[in-house]
Amino acid sequence: MAETLSVSPLIVDILWSRGLTTVEDMDRFLSPGLRHLAAPSEVPGLTEAAEVLASGIREGRKLAIWGDYDVDGITATAVVLQFLSMRGIEAMHHLPNRMEEGYGMNVPGVERLAADGARMLLTVDCGISDMAPVARARELGMLVAVSDHHLPGDELPDAHALCNPRLAEGGPCDDLAGVGVAFMLVCALNRLLPGEPVDVRPLLDLVALGTVADVVRLTGQNRILVKNGLLLIKEAARPGMAALKVVSDYERTAELGAGQIGFNLAPRINAAGRMGDPGKALRLLLARTFDEAMPIAQELNAINMERRRQEQEIADEALAQAETMKDMAGLVLHSDHWHPGIIGIVASRVVERYYRPTLLLCSREEGGLLKGSGRSISEFDLHESLKAVSPLLAGFGGHKQAAGLSLLPENLDALRTQFNEFVISRLGPDPLTPTLKLDRELPFVQITNTLLQELELLQPFGLGNPEPVFASAPVTVAEYRLFGRENEHVKLVLADAETGARLSGKAWRMGKLFPRDTKGQAMRFAFTPKIDRYRGIPQIDLRIRDWLV
């Protein structure tokens, strides 16, 4: 199989262990061309949504797009707006202010769009739970098409068309992000509008950015979209993308992986919505020149720095609270003054530290409700748990691993109790520990530049397609030292006595965890091999993930 695919047997081993058992499946994974994309009609309701939009455009109705304030929603809005512009169609848009409007649609916003002349409404990355706003839009005479990817509830909005991969199970598009659904929708609409279809491939950089940021599975259709979109992000022909890379300390044409997108580019887009105005990020992505884009990118960079400062303050308080609740299987943390745009990030940090489902709540002016954001572990369905405690909630929505909620303050204690009881009913009373899945043992002598280049074929890495992690045979710690501002990182030189191979490695943020006095000691390591280009000299370096003494 390796010979047929022109790769090493190690690559076939990895693909086989991840469920790809034929040459055809492996070839499609290694070369995920756009020809492998599913037909847009595979998304439930998409054909009907495209037909509704095409009909409204032919009637001359003014279209408004309602997006979400996160990266997925902002990029989905940008995809539709740019596509319509390419087809010579003007459209309005609305991205809600997180602080003033909260998640999803709202009736006053719909009424403002109608007052401004909107006669047709398309939602992207939201709408599947917004019964009242959709009903109001119809009362005002709008054609309404909902495109979303969040889990639908028992009741669906009364739109003219509902387009959501989650409306049916088992399809090839189940894992699409909101921006992926929006892209499929414009692909279908492109064929229905009069005139020659336009080339929609230049939109794929937006699709990749939003898909990676939404932490959906990077397999199947998402792998195809992201792999091809990353090529466009490298080219950075979009002025806003070029400016975003520059303020993120990358070269304008640097080749970025999904991890770099998720940890560096996406947070700067997300910061706009988290701190108030997502419109700034939309203007950046649609900027026509680099000179127009750069000041916006710099402003977003400054906003992101402030977001990071507040995040650390909230994290310190949340982790201190969590420390007092270590007997709980599910954590519900609360403080009135926490920033509602940041609690989701902090919830992720609490989950990382304690490895248990976590809800963070803060106060929200509107209606006296508490607003919350939750994150989960792989073994636990967060959306299912919120559905179970829904009598306590004013509203909720989201996915298995991430969700949002709101509730009256007097229900907080009951939520804490019932959420914990539900977690215990699913996982048992004892908190789980995270596991690290190893691909195989890999001798140091086999780690070459050629192998690392082959491993790059497996990119992009993320949920559903993690970076390969290998185990070493027992090797000797030849050198050991701490580094970083607070000695939070560990640098090692590891020696294989049998072959004489020596490789350096780093254990990031593990300075307090790594055992001391290990120099000269034989240990086994779990690691991911990398090319370290620090100071411009490429060297093989190991990212240390775990160890056994």
126-163 pLDDT, tens digit per residue, is 999 999 999 999 999 999 999 999 989 889 999 999 99
pLDDT at 82: 98
Please give the mean pLDDT across all residues of the chain: 94
pLDDT at 83: 98
Provide the percentage of residues in the chain whose pLDDT is more than 90: 83
CA distance linking residue 316 with residue 7, whole number of Å = 47
267-281 pLDDT per residue, tens: 999 988 877 789 999
Q: Which two tokens stand for residue 244?
A: 């975003």
49: left (phi over 0), alpha (psi -120 to 50) or beta: alpha
User: Residue 100: is its pLDDT beyond 70?
Assistant: yes
Q: Which residue has the tokens 């602080």?
A: 99
398: left (phi over 0), alpha (psi -120 to 50) or beta: left
User: Residue 365: is its pLDDT beyond 60?
Assistant: no
Domain boundaries, the chain: 40-300, 324-427, 440-548
Sign of CA dihedral 373, 379, 384, 390: negative
Q: Is 514 helix (H, G, I), strand (E, B) or coil?
A: coil
Residues contacting 201, CB < 8 A, separation 6+: 34, 228, 232
Contact call for residues 454 and 7 (beta carbons, < 8 A): yes
Which architecture characterizes domain 440-548 according to CATH? Beta Barrel (2.40)
pLDDT at 201: 98
CA distance linking residue 25 with residue 36, whole number of Å = 11
Q: What is the mean pLDDT of residues 60-85?
A: 97
User: Residue 14: is its pLDDT beyond 90?
Assistant: yes
Give pTM, 2 decimals. Answer: 0.88
Q: Which two tokens stand for residue 243?
A: 């400016």
Angle, CA 104 vertex, CA 71 and CA 38 arms, to 5°: 60
CA distance linking residue 417 with residue 350, whole number of Å = 19
pLDDT at 136: 98
User: Residue 186: is its pLDDT beyond 60?
Assistant: yes
CA distance linking residue 433 with residue 377, whole number of Å = 10
Q: Where does 324-427 sit in CATH, by number?
A: 3.10.310.30
pLDDT at 169: 85
CA distance linking residue 398 with residue 126, whole number of Å = 10
Contact call for residues 466 and 437 (beta carbons, < 8 A): yes
280-311 pLDDT per residue, tens: 999 999 999 999 999 999 999 999 999 889 99
CA distance linking residue 276 with residue 278, whole number of Å = 7
434-487 pLDDT per residue, tens: 888 899 999 999 999 899 999 999 999 988 899 999 999 999 999 999 999 889
pLDDT at 366: 60
**How would residue 364 be classed by pLDDT, with cut points 50, 70 and 90?**
low
User: Residue 532: is its pLDDT beyond 90?
Assistant: no
Q: Where does 40-300 sit in CATH, by number?
A: 3.90.1640.30
CA distance linking residue 346 with residue 349, whole number of Å = 5
Strand pairing category for 539-548 and 502-507:
parallel
User: Residue 537: is its pLDDT beyond 90?
Assistant: no
370-418 pLDDT per residue, tens: 999 999 998 999 999 999 999 999 989 888 888 999 999 999 999 999 9
Question: Helix/strand/coil (H, E, C) string of 204-217?
Answer: HHHHHHHHHHCCCC
Q: Which two tokens stand for residue 168?
A: 């049916």
Give how far Cα 463 sits from Cα of 82, 153, 218, 230, Å. Answer: 28, 24, 6, 16
Region of poorest pLDDT, from 16-25, 85-94, 103-112, 266-275: 266-275
Q: Is 238 helix (H, G, I), strand (E, B) or coil?
A: coil
Contact call for residues 99 and 123 (beta carbons, < 8 A): no
Region of poorest pLDDT, from 34-48, 197-211, 530-544: 530-544
Element (H, E) at 420: helix 412-427
Q: What is the mean pLDDT of residues 230-244?
A: 97
Question: Which ranges in 358-411 belong to alpha helices (H)?
Answer: 382-388
